[in-house]
Amino acid sequence: MSFGAGPNGLLWRDGDEAVDLSGLGDVFAQPTLNELLRSGRAAWQDAIAAARAHDGPRMPERNVRLHLPFKVADYVDFYSSLEHATNLGRMFRPDQEPLLPNWRWLPVAYHGRAGSVVVSGTDVVRPCGQRKAPGEDAPTFGPSRRLDFELELGFVVGIPSELGERVPVEAFAQHVFGVVLVNDWSARDIQAWEYVPLGPNLGKSFQTSISAWVTPLALLEDARVEAPPQDPPPLPHLAGGRGWGLDVALEVELNGETISQGNARTLYWTLPQQLAHATSNGASLRTGDLMASGTISGVEAGSEGSMIELFRGERFLEDADELVLRGRAANGVALGDVRGRVLPARA
């Protein structure tokens, strides 16, 4: 049960069928969800009720050409999984504490590239960039040798905020329409060389894939669980939001084989805390802002949300590999898949 965008306008996903909502009126005849997004919480509820009751044309989802569901405004990617941050810290900085001193005090993030966010099903061209292996004196430019995925949960802002205004943890559901699955494709070799001291840039910005379906928060109410405890307690402006753990089972399939199974409920920083942090300096929200959780990794082996963690840096994506991310909430609501195939680097 999610909204998407197709050739005639908005679509409603009902099982493995897509229902054409364009007959429901102007908001539903738009090429993207943006108008629905900015219409607010009461209208979102009405839209869900109308979509459920609509007897419009329906067809198998696989036969529909699904578009990017909303026009992405800004894109921010967090780093909210304790297990992922610890695993990556060990690999990127083996001689230091894996977690940097700020990690437990704020949800660390980088600002991504909104213009290269694409819909599920879009192939990814292996990026080129500067890479420098540990034993080399100087970098070389060429195709990434360490292309990876990141399994993430993202949320989509509907109602904007004013410049200077802070959006508190409690106001999350007033502003946020729903969630998508996200694959933050990552070139680890490019990232490792470029990220100091300002964070990821070209190692990430070549492409980010999201599900074609946006699942409204209202349909995930029954999947809400208590998030893991936080130590130390966050500062007052980031306190609360613990009831926003989301019990969403996650799965990654590579060339038809399941390589990872985890759950979004393990996130240390919840989605409302991410939003509160992103606006804590008064930065304004815009309709269509996309914020993603960061890679979701669990404690158990096989629950890691990236290849660098799953295969300890010994295996990465090869040309022609096909990847599918899946998510299913504990109340049975399926999130949209995120599919992508790796194409060779361009000469």
Tell me which of 20, 61, 150, 189 binds Mn ion, using CB under 5 A. 150
By C-beta, is 150 or 309 nearer to Mn ion? 150
Q: How far apart are CA 160 and CA 38, in angstroms?
A: 8
Closest CB to Mn ion among residues 171, 193: 193
Considering the complex, what minimum distance in angstroms separates the CB of residue 318 from Mn ion? 21
Q: How far is the CB of 51 from Mn ion (least distance, A)?
A: 31
Residue 16: closest CA among 59, 80, 65, 66: 59
CB of 2 or CB of 81, closer to Mn ion: 81
Q: How far apart are CA 288 and CA 214, in angstroms?
A: 12
**Smallest separation, CB 50 to Mn ion (Å):** 35
- Whether 54 is catalytic is no
Contact flags string 25-64 toward Mn ion, x per CB under 5 A: ----------------------------------------
Of 84, 111, 175, 277, the catalytic one is 84
What is the number of the residue whose Cβ is closest to Mn ion?
184
Nearer to Mn ion, 161 or 306 (CB): 306
Q: Which of 77/83 has CB closer to Mn ion?
A: 77
- Nearest CB to Mn ion, comparing residues 81 and 279: 81
Judged by CB, which is closer to Mn ion: 27, or 182?
A: 182
The least CB distance from residue 47 to Mn ion, in Å, is 30
CA distance 240 to 233: 10
Q: Output the smallest distance, CB 24 to Mn ion, in A.
A: 35
Q: How far is the CB of 14 from Mn ion (least distance, A)?
A: 31
304 binds Mn ion (CB under 5 A): no
Cα separation, 178 vs 70, whole angstroms? 12
The number of residues that bind Mn ion (CB under 5 A) is: 3
Restricted to residues 57-96, the positions that interact with Mn ion (CB under 5 A) are 77
**CB under 5 A: which stretch of 5-13, 145-153, 237-245, 319-327 binds Mn ion?**
145-153
Three-class HEC string of the chain: CEEEECCCCEEEEECCEEEECHHHCHHHHCCCCHHHHCCCHHHHHHHHHHHHHCCCCEEEHHHCCCCCCCCCCCEEEECCCHHHHHHHHHHHCCCCCCCCCCCCCCCCEEECCHHHEEECCCCEECCEEEECCCCCCCCEEEECCCEECCEEEEEEECCCCCCCCCCCHHHHHHHEEEEEEEECCEEHHHHHHHCCCCCCCHHHHCCEEECCCEEEHHHHHHHEECCCCCCCCCCHHHCCCHHHEECEEEEEEECCEEEEEEEHHHCCCCHHHHHHHHCCCCCCCCCCCEEECCCCCCCCCCCCCCHHHHCCCCCCCCCCCEEEEEEEECCCCECCCEEEEEECCCC
Q: Are 84 and 152 in contact (CB under 8 A)?
A: no
Site for Mn ion in 159-188 (CB under 5 A): 184
Quote the CA–CA distance of 126 and 317 in Å, as a whole number.
9
Min CB(157)–Mn ion separation in Å: 18
Taking residues 201 to 240 in sequence order and writing x for each that binds Mn ion by CB under 5 A, - otherwise, the string is: ----------------------------------------
From 62-70, 84-92, 123-131, 148-156, give the range in contact with Mn ion by CB under 5 A: 148-156
Give contact residues for Mn ion (rule: CB under 5 A). 77, 150, 184
Instruction: Please list the active-site residues.
Output: 84
